[in-house]
Amino acid sequence: MHIVTGGAGFIGSKLARDLVARGADVIVVDDLTDGHKFVNIADLAIADYLDKDTFLDRLGDASFTAGIEAVFHQGACSATTEWDGRYMMRNNYGYSQLVLHRCLELGVPLIYASSAAVYGASTGFAEAPANERPLNVYGYSKLQFDRYVRRLAGNPDSQVVGLRYFNVYGPREQHKGSMASVAYHLNQQLRADGEVRLFEGNDGYADGEQQRDFVYVDDISAVNLWFLDHPEVSGIFNAGTGRAQTFNDVANAVLDWHGSGKIRYIPFPDHLKGAYQSYTQADLTALREAGCDVVFRPVEDGVREYLDELAV
């Protein structure tokens, strides 16, 4: 069986869906305190659902762990605006430590979600300590676990892979609220008001010209599955397109799909000044050297596929 923590969430539910399509028995682990997430897995024939706390308890049960083939650890608080550091470290760091230790004891592959938020204020995006400068406690929680993995499992006997997700967008992110992707919010704005809203210039960038590495969720799932198929490969790798595109590019892709609308630029929020990544672009050198040959969609293609699916 394959375990997907955070399996009712955005990326986790896509990964669970693709594993089921492969014929795998999938156990989804999540915390459905926010019950709205159930829609992401309601139509998915999973083997079982476990609450996060129940899962941690059952990791000590040999009859349960004997059937685990791999763990995809996607569960985390991903709110970059959450400043309760104690909660964030307990949820993202402590929980991940427990899962890591048990996977190493069992010899079970662990593929986990890290984040490009570890780079924060850096202008370099290779997987090197010199580039790791998080701007928020979310990014720090992810970085600290990566550091822990490097120290504890630098040369593991069983596979341990951390994937630093860049700006992921795509279906089944509606429950994320303010943390949903730019593409999601722009589509919602256009449908409601006939316009999309982007930030004015900041950090030397013109209006809407801030750049991020926007990556489609299907491609992120494909990278996870590539590592599942290559258990001999371990390490921490970037998961992005390797190509920065502007927020204007995303907005224009949304406008093109609808065939109408306009862009309006709004003042850059004071509370984000000094705590905002104006540029990200995954360095894919390590990923490609590992042999991963997943082809990543540009924004123009990914947004079109995304909105096509939302329209069904």
Q: Output the pLDDT for position 312.
A: 80
Fold entry, domain 174-211+244-278+303-311: UDP-galactose 4-epimerase; domain 1 (3.90.25)
In angstroms, the CA 221 to CA 162 distance is 13
Contacts of 153 (CB under 8 A, 6+ apart): 100, 104, 160, 234
135-182, pLDDT tens digit by residue?
899 999 999 999 999 999 888 999 999 999 999 999 999 999 888 999
Q: For the chain, which residues make up each domain, given as ranges? A: 2-168+216-242+283-296, 174-211+244-278+303-311
The catalytically annotated residue of 93, 95, 138, 279 is 138
- Does residue 14 carry a catalytic annotation? no
pLDDT for 83 beyond 80 = no
| CATH top class, domain 2-168+216-242+283-296 | alpha beta
pLDDT single digits (tens) 208-264 = 999 999 999 999 999 999 999 999 999 999 999 999 999 999 999 999 999 999 999
Listed in sequence order, the residues at least 6 apart from 121 whose beta carbon sits closer than 8 Å to its beta carbon are 133, 135, 277
pLDDT at 74 over 80: yes
Catalytic-residue membership of 49: no
CA distance 196 to 307: 15
148, 176, 205, 265: which one is catalytic? 176
Q: How many residues does this entry show for the chain?
A: 312
What does the pLDDT average to over 88-107? Answer: 95
Is the pLDDT at 122 greater than 80? The verdict is yes
pLDDT band at 81, cuts 50/70/90? confident
Q: Give the residue among 183, 302, 287, 181 at the shortest CA–CA distance from 242.
A: 287
The pLDDT score that the predictor gives to residue 178 is 87
Other beta carbons less than 10 A from residue 81's beta carbon: 12
User: Is 90 exceeded by the pLDDT of residue 277?
Assistant: no
pLDDT value, residue 153: 84
The position carrying tokens 């964030």 is 88
Which residue carries 């993202």 as its tokens?
A: 92
Query: Which pTM does this prediction carry?
Result: 0.95
> What is the C-alpha to C-alpha distance for residues 305 and 156, in angstroms, rounded to an integer?
38
| pLDDT exceeds cutoff 90 at 276 | no
Say how far apart CA 5 and CA 74 lie, in whole Å. 5
* Cα separations in angstroms, 165 against 1, 66, 67, 246, 259: 25, 30, 28, 18, 31
Q: Residue 271 pLDDT > 90, yes or no?
A: no
User: What pLDDT is recorded for position 30?
Assistant: 97
Q: What is the mean pLDDT of residues 197-211?
A: 94
Max avg pLDDT among 76-85, 89-98, 115-124, 222-231? 222-231
Predicted confidence (pLDDT) per residue in 17-65, tens digit: 999 999 999 999 999 998 999 999 999 999 999 999 999 999 999 999 9
User: What was the pLDDT predicted at 20?
Assistant: 98
SS3 state at 305: helix
